[in-house]
Every structure is written in C-alpha cells, then in structure tokens.
Structure 1
Amino acid sequence: MTGTGEARADGMAEGVAVSTPPAHGIPFAEAVRVWARVAALSFGGPAGQIAVMHKLLVEEKRWVGEARFLHALNYCMLLPGPEAQQLAIYIGWLLHKTRGGLVAGTLFVLPGFLAIMALSIVYAVFGQVGLVQALFFGLKAAVLAIVLEAVVRIGRRALKNRVMVGLAAAAFVAIFFLGVPFPLIVLAAGLIGYLGGRAGHPDFLVGGGHGPAAGRAVADAGTALGEELPAHARPPLSWSLEVAGACLLLWLGPVLLILLTLGHDHVFGQIALFFSKMAVVSFGGAYAVLAYVAQAAVESYGWLRPGEMLDGLGMAETTPGPLIMVTQFVGFMGAFREPGGLPPLLAGVLGGVLTTWVTFVPCFLWIFAGAPFVETLRGNRALSAALATITAAVVGVILNLAVWFALHVLFAEVHEVRALGLTLPVPVPASIDPASLTLTMAALLAVFRFKVGMLPVLAACSAAGILYRLVTIGL
C-alpha cells in the first residue's frame, strides 16, 4: 500500500518530489517513539486514549492544532470501530503518509493485544484471574480519574457556548437514561449542526480550523503541520481506490480463505464471519456492542459461559489499548473450547489473532479511503458546524461512559431500575468498595489538584492496589 499509489499522491500537480522530506520536519523515527508512548499509556477506554493523544500531540509536541485534532476526531466518531485507534491512524497518516498511519494504528493495539493474549492463556489454563485482578485492582481507580479528566479537558475545548453545552447534556440524557443508540445521537447532532451552520448561526460556527483558538487551545498555524493541506492529503481518486482495494483484500481475503477451506460451521469460520460483521456495525465504541457480542458468544455460539464476558472486559479495561480488544478474549476462548484437531492453546492463540485481525484491519480502510476527502472539506462551514456539534454530543456520550465505569469500579452491585420510560443504573449503597473509593479519591486529587502526570498516577495506584490485596487476601 505504500508503493506507486503513494508516490503518485506525493508527486501530484503540486510538483512535490517523491524523495522530498515532510515539510513539517518531524522525523519518522521520532514519530514512532511518540506513537509507542501513546500505545503504552492508552488506558481508560476512548476517553482516556483520546486525552493521551491530545496531551502528547497537541499540547506537548504541537504537531497538530486543536481544530485539526477535533476535525479528525469528529470524522472518526462517525465510523464503526474504535475511534481512538482510528484517530491515531488519521494523524499518523497526516504526518507521514501511509506508513505513518500503519505504524500509528498498529502500535496503538499492539500492547493490548499482547497483554490480552497473555491474560487469556492464564485464564484458560488456571480458570481464574485472581492474581491478575490483584495486579490491576488499583489501576482501575487511576483509569477512572483519567477518564474524568478527559471529559473535563475535551469538554472545555468543545463546549464553547450554551448551545453546545445543551447538546452535550441532551446526548447524555438520551444515552444514559433513554438508551438511545449512539448512531442516532450522532446523526441527530450532525443534522442540527449542519442546519445551524448553513443558517450562519454563530453558536454553531465554532469548529472551523482557521479562526482564533479559544482559551489555551493550540492554533493550527502554530503547529508543525500548520494550516495547509499536505500534498499527500490530496491524492487522486485512483489512489483511494487502490488503497481501499488493498485493505479490503487484507481484511476479507483471509475470511474467504477460511470459509472456503474450513466451512461456515468451523469455529474459525464462525469467528471470521461474526467479527467481520461486527466491525461494520460497531458504532459507538466497545460499550455499544458489548451486549451484542456477549449474547452471541454465550447463547448463539457457546464460546463463553455466563459471566465470563465481564472477566474479559475487566482484562480489556485494565490493559492498554481499545476496549474492543475484549473481542480477542472471546475469540481465544471460543477456539480454545473447540480446537478441532489442534492443541487447545494453539487454537486459542490462532482464534485471538484472527479476531484481532478482522476487527482492526477495517479501521485502516475507513481512514485511508476517507480521510483525504474529509481533509479537503475542513474549510466547509456547514460541515465544520456539523462536526463540531457531533463533538459536543460526544462529550455527553463520554460522560456516560465515565459514569458507567465509575459505578462498576466503586460498587460491586448495580441494578437497573425502570420507571416512566427511563432506565436508571442504581448502585447498591452497601456494596461500595471502600478501598476502590479511597484510591479513586486519591487519584482524582493527584490529577486535578496537583496535576500529577498520567504515568505516575497509574504506577502509584497499581502499586497501592497490589499492596492492599497482599495485605487483605495474602496473595
């Protein structure tokens, strides 16, 4: 995918030579190191992961500006699959073309892939993850603090007036209380913003990349990438078709090969087909599709036993990478329990690899095929208004995730109460975990009051959690 099509994109009518280094001057090796840092710190689901990228790429490195970052984020929010990984691919592509996107997207999932694979093996062999839970007990408190900080940080950037605040609040109510599907919230917000932008209403014209940045936001003009559109971001249609074809072949080629050789009823055929379909419909991030995946894995395929999905989610929540990595655990256990003629552990590893492949390869397709067109529309007032409005709505959705995560970190029992058409997750007060509450309060104090960095907070909370479990349980 980095051959003739990319060279053609570089050597277009702009007269840019193929061998010309990037105009922004960011060495590719340095970018690889930064993407590795992003991957290592990508805890806390999409909110925490987006916050990590914002802090490193916008605030510290100043490689991209606020408006460009949000423009890319808005597009990724519209796509199926993990939006944080897609954002990494998008920015990596902006900085260093196709190879930049490939490196950024691959590194983003690599630590989580390795961690989930190791934990899945432990789970399958020993049948429980008590030691693992002890290792990551304190980490959950730090993750919660990071997610809440991300809500505040992104909210400050996106909610620039009362209209945007109201839209964020409406999105939170819709998804938290009414259970409105995430895609409907995005479509409604986008339509409202588009109409408001077309009408020229000033409250909606907050997403453009050429106006002055609000507060301490980093303006595009003061960044390495600047305001201009890179030459490779204006490829001909033929390049987009070539790269889309290559991604489709990499994604669906193995699926078709497995189906033709092993059949639909083989566990690998089931995994390849099911998770390929999930990759197309998984709008709204991991939480939006967890119920769908859990029901299919337990009731339709028998890959998991009741309750095991929560064990897998616990692994995904406390390891770096997208939460959708929980699907790797599902694929591993499905193949482990139906190994065919293979050793169970080998079958499980292959099942986990296959699940990860068909889940994440489509993300590269969505970005490489669509990002050039989205970049050329950055100056479109109505589209910018629509994307800015979607960002406001997404703040409400991220707050919903933060509340959901907080309830399940701090309380052992959470019941759903239905009344007047509303569904309320209500925690059982007696089930509160004092240790989790104490660690969470300490993490919040460190993050918000003393501005302690993310890595020290993660390390301190993890160490405190291990010490607590050693003292109380004697592991």
Structure 2
Amino acid sequence: MSTAQTDTPGSGDRTAREEPSSEQGTLTPFTLGELLLYFLRLGSLGFGGPIALAGYMQRDLVERRRWISKHDYLEGLALAQLAPGPLAAQLAIYLGWVRAGVLGASLVSLAFILPSFVMVLALSFLYVRFGGLPWMQGLFYGIGAAVIAIIARSAVKLVRMTLARDALLWVLFGVSALVTAWTESEIVWVFLASGVIALLVKAPPRLKRPPATLSMLAPWLVTGLQGAADTPTLFKIAVYFAEAGAFVFGSGLAIVPFLRGGVVGQFHWLTDQQFLDAVAVAMITPGPVVITVAFIGYLVAGPLGAVVAALGVFLPCYLFVIIPAPYYRRFAGNRSIRAFVEGVTAAATGAIAGAAFVLGRRAIVDVPTVLIFLGTLLVIVKVKKLPEPVTILVAGFVGWGVKVAVGR
C-alpha cells in the first residue's frame, strides 16, 4: 500500500497494509472523509445485492479512483467470503480498515448501513400504520411472487459459482435443501456439519497437541404489530439476530431461511406473509439485503426493536473483520479453513433453494401469482441490466391491479 493510504493513524495494525501495489502503480491520495462520502452514497443508491455492491466497490475504488489496490481489494473480498455475515458489508468494513484501521472500519460500517436502515425504518412505520389497507395488500400480493423468482434465480447463480463440478459440495447442497424444505427451517448444525465434512474430506487436519493457553422507555419505542414488547422479547431479538449474523455465510439471501425458521417457526413473531413482506422491503431498498432484520425488529418491537435487530446482525460481521484483519494474511490460504467454508457455503446455498420452495408455497397461490412469478423470472434472466427493485415494484403494481380488478 502506498503512503497515500497510510497518512491517517490507525490502531497499531499497519503491518498488514504496508505492501506497495506494483500491479497498479501509484495510488491516488484520498481522505477518510472522501471514503465515508463514497460509502454513504453507495449505501443510499447501491442496488443489486451483495455481488453487485462488491462489483461497484471494485469499479469505483480500484479501477476508476485508484484509492484501493487490487491486492487489498481481493484480500478483503476473500476475508468477506471466509467469515460469516453479509459479504458486501464486510468488504466495505475491510476497506475502511485498510484506510484507517479500526476507526475507518467503524465509520465506514455506519456510512454504508445507515442510509438503508433509515429507509427501512420509514417503510416499517408505514407498514405498521397502513399495512391493513387494500392497496398495500395488493402491492405485496404481487411483490411476494416476484421475490420468490429472484430468490430462486439467486440460488441458481450461487450454485454455479460455488459448487461447480464438486460432487461432495453437491451432496451437501442437496442435503441442506431437503432439510430446509422438509423442516421449513434452517438448522445451524447442518451448516456446521457440512463445513466439518468438507474439511475432513478435502483437508484432513493433522493431530497436534492443543496449545496452552425496559420499563422507563416511551411505549412507542417498543411498539410493534402486537403492541408494546417487553424486555425478554428485546433480549431474544438481540440474541437471535446476533446468531444470524454469526452463522450465515455468503450472499445476503442466505439469511432468509435462517430468519424464517426463528421469526415464523420458533418465536411466531410474524406470519409467512409478513416475513415475505420483510424480505421484499429489503430488496426494494439500497444497501445490504440483510437490512431486512431492521424491518422484522420494528414489526416485533417498534423502533427500538429495529435498532436491536440491526446491531445484533451487523456486530458479529464487524467483529469478524476487525479482529482477524491484522493477522489475515497468515491464514488466508489455509486449506483447512477454505475447505470448511466451502462446505458451509454449499449448505447455505442449499438452504436458500429450500427456502425458495417453502416461501413459494405461501406466495404463489393462484393463477395471477404464478404468472407474476414466471414473468419476473423471464425478465431477470433475459433483461440483464434492469435493476431488481424496478422489477419488484412493477410486480407490486401488477398485483395491486389484479386485486382492484377482482375486487378483493
């Protein structure tokens, strides 16, 4: 890394960023403030999911502005893939760490996540206030079918990216998909077992000797669909969404089956339709897809629930970046770690496919929703440059039109 990117004091972790980027020549000097403005804009306008957001960062920061070296970008992308949590958010956090250590990582995470959080908070308020109105029900009638098409398409793309012709990964994918579809929930132990199986088969470890070594709050702050939430509910929200952030790998959509298992099946906080609406809200807003947790938190426990849910899911991914970042290059190429992650990723991809089946049975219920589903699938496959939020909103208005036409 050139001196242009090390003029802001970090936190004692400069050794991981001192290499020059000879493949790019001299990098362009920039300030931390400029980087924060960039991520504020990306969080406000960046649509398309984690892969698209990562692509924007490469295009803007590596190729056009030349602020970040290709070497640092690729290492950040690899770390984001290795660690559990939302890929795009972790990559952004790592690039902030490259620029200014823990301070940079912290400020970039806020700049990137805050815009979509505010948007989701506003949509949550409108949903709780007006969710029973026919026009909003009509919109989500069409949006639900479109979201299933997008989830199914994402599962297919992830299969191509992560499984290739690896027979073991295909088996892990199939088992996870069947378990998710059969149980209608995502089981963490399936993920962990898949990682361990892949590790034992692909990179069997050598045995070594182990080394020594809420009553004062205003009611509206915690009021969701079912009224004011109590302290135990807020605690459950914090713990559950922290688990989601700590155990979900890869695409932001990988969190969907995990969340449904708890939010709908275990705690019965939301119905299937309300949960699908939450996923839809995340898809029509910019920024990381996992911001759907804020919408869910709001529906359960009001604005404070949204804050607790967002902190719960993003704090683990933040820690999974800033803690290993100074030492990352020592273990980035470790075969055992990569084998474990490959197994977990295969299971996560299978869970997404299973979740598409489970949610699809609730959202695709009649001829109009079947047609909206097939039409959306055709559009996203054939029209490559059409933003997904536009597709979802069009489907919503089609659904609203159907509801008006049939008078229900």
Aligned partner of 2:358 in structure 1 is 404
Matching residue of 2:52: 52
Partner of 1:161: 165
Displacement, 1:462?
A: 1.8
Q: Distance in 2 between matches of 1:90 and 1:14?
A: 11
Out of 63, 72, 75, the residue aligned to residue 82 of structure 2 is 75
Cα contact 2:143–2:396 (8 A) shared by 1: yes
| 2:258 is the counterpart of 1:274 | no
Q: SS where residue 13 of structure 2 aligns?
A: helix
Q: 2:262 aligns with which of 286, 292, 304?
A: 292
Match of residue 465 from structure 1: 396
Aligned residue number for residue 240 of structure 1: none
Residue 397 of structure 1 aligns to which amino acid in structure 2? A
Task: Go from structure 1 to structure 2 and tell me whether the alpha carbon gap of 1:450 and 1:357 turns closer, same or farther (over 3 Å shift).
Answer: closer
Q: Give the deviation of 1:159 after TM superposition.
A: 1.5
Aligned to 1:389: 343
Contact 1:38–1:53 under 8 Å retained in 2: no
Q: Which amino acid aligns with 1:368?
A: I
In the alignment, structure 1 residue 147 sits paired with structure 2 residue 151: yes
Is residue 195 from structure 1 mapped to residue 195 from structure 2 by the alignment? no
Identify if the C-alpha distance between structure 1 residues 391 and 31 changes in structure 2 by more than 3 Å, giving closer, same or farther. Answer: farther
1:172 aligns with 2:177: yes
| Compared CA separation, residues 137 and 100, structure 1 to 2 (3 A) | farther
Q: CA deviation at 1:400?
A: 1.8
Correspondence for 1:317 among 280, 301, 306: 280
Aligned counterpart, 1:443: 376
Contact 2:128 2:299 in 1 (8 A): yes
- How far did residue 364 of structure 1 move? 1.9
- Decide whether aligned partners of structure 1 residues 473 and 272 sit closer, same or farther in structure 2, where only a CA change above 3 A counts: same
Q: Can you list the C-alpha shifts for 1:181-221, whole angstroms capped at 9, x where unaligned?
A: 53222222222222233359xxxxxxxxxxxxxxxxxxxxx
Deviation (angstroms), 1:409: 2.7
- Counterparts of 1:129 and 1:373 in 2: how far apart (Å)? 53
Contact 2:149 2:373 (C-alpha < 8 Å) held by counterparts: yes
- Quick one: which amino acid aligns to residue 53 of structure 1? L
Cα distance, 1:170 vs structure 2: 2.7
SS at match of 2:333: coil
- CA separation of 1:275 and 1:377: change in aligned 2, threshold 3 A: same
Distance 2:8 2:77 in 1: 31
1:302-341 matched pairs, under 5 angstroms: 307=271, 310-311=273-274, 313-319=276-282, 320=285, 325=291, 328-329=294-295, 331-332=297-298
Give the equivalent residue in structure 1 for 2:224: none
For residues 282-323 of structure 1, the C-alpha deviation after alignment (integer angstroms, 9 at most, x for no partner) is: 33434324443457866xxxxx6x74x742541343333666
With structure 1 as the length reference, what TM-score do the two structures score? 0.59
Alpha-carbon displacement from aligned partner over 1:214-273 (angstroms, at most 9, x marks no partner)? xxxxxxxxxxxxxxxxxxxxxxxxxxxxxxxxxxxxxxxxx9x98xxxxxxx95644543
Distance in 2 (alpha carbons) for counterparts of 1:14 and 1:55: 22
Gaps of 5+ in 2: 1-5, 206-213, 218-227, 249-254
Distance 1:49 1:286 in 2: 13
Query: Cα gap change, 1:146/1:362 in structure 2, threshold over 3 Å: closer, same or farther?
Result: same
Q: Does structure 2 conserve the Cα–Cα contact (< 8 Å) formed by 1:151 and 1:399?
A: yes
Q: From the superposition, tell whether residues 439 and 36 of structure 1 become closer, same or farther in structure 2 (CA, over 3 Å).
A: farther
1:399/1:13 CA distance change after superposition, 3 Å? closer
Amino acid corresponding to residue 110 of structure 2 in structure 1: T
Which amino acid is the alignment partner of residue 343 of structure 2? Answer: T
* Aligned pairs for 1:351-366 within 5 A: 351-366=305-320
Shift of the 383–85 alpha-carbon distance from structure 1 to 2, 3 Å rule, reads same
**Can you list the C-alpha shifts for 1:63-105, whole angstroms capped at 9, x where unaligned?**
869985774344333x6xx566445534654577545544554
The TM-score, its normalising length taken from structure 2, stands at: 0.67
Unaligned runs of 5+ in 1: 43-47, 201-254, 259-265, 299-303, 336-347, 412-431
The residue that corresponds to 1:119 in the other structure is 123
The one-letter amino acid paired with 1:381 is: R
Q: What's the offset of the Cα at 1:5?
A: 7.8
Deviates more, 1:178-187 or 1:62-71: 62-71
Is contact 1:279-1:362 (8 Å) kept? no
| Structure-1 separation of matches of 2:281 and 2:386 | 14
Alpha carbons of 1:460 and 1:322: their partners in 2 closer, same or farther (altered >3 Å)? closer
SS at match of 1:8: coil
Q: CA deviation at 1:358?
A: 4.5
User: In the aligned structure 2, how far is the partner of 1:14 from the partner of 1:94?
Assistant: 7
Q: Could you tell me whether the CA contact under 8 Å between 1:117 and 1:349 is conserved in 2?
A: yes
Q: For residues 297 and 375 of structure 1, do their structure 2 counterparts lie closer, same or farther at Cα, with a shift above 3 Å needed?
A: same
8 A Cα contact 1:139 1:318, kept in partner: no
1:399 deviation in Å?
1.7
3-state secondary structure, aligned to 1:52: helix
Q: Deviations over 1:99-148 (max 9, x none)?
A: 55445543554354334322333344346253334445544444334333
Identity, % of aligned positions:
22
Aligned positions of 1:416-427 closer than 5 A? none
Q: Is the 8 A contact 2:172 2:346 kept in 1?
A: yes
Paired amino acid for 1:311: Q
| 389 and 404 in structure 1: CA distance in 2 versus 1, 3 angstrom threshold | same
Q: Do the aligned partners of 1:272 and 1:354 also contact (CA within 8 Å) in 2?
A: yes
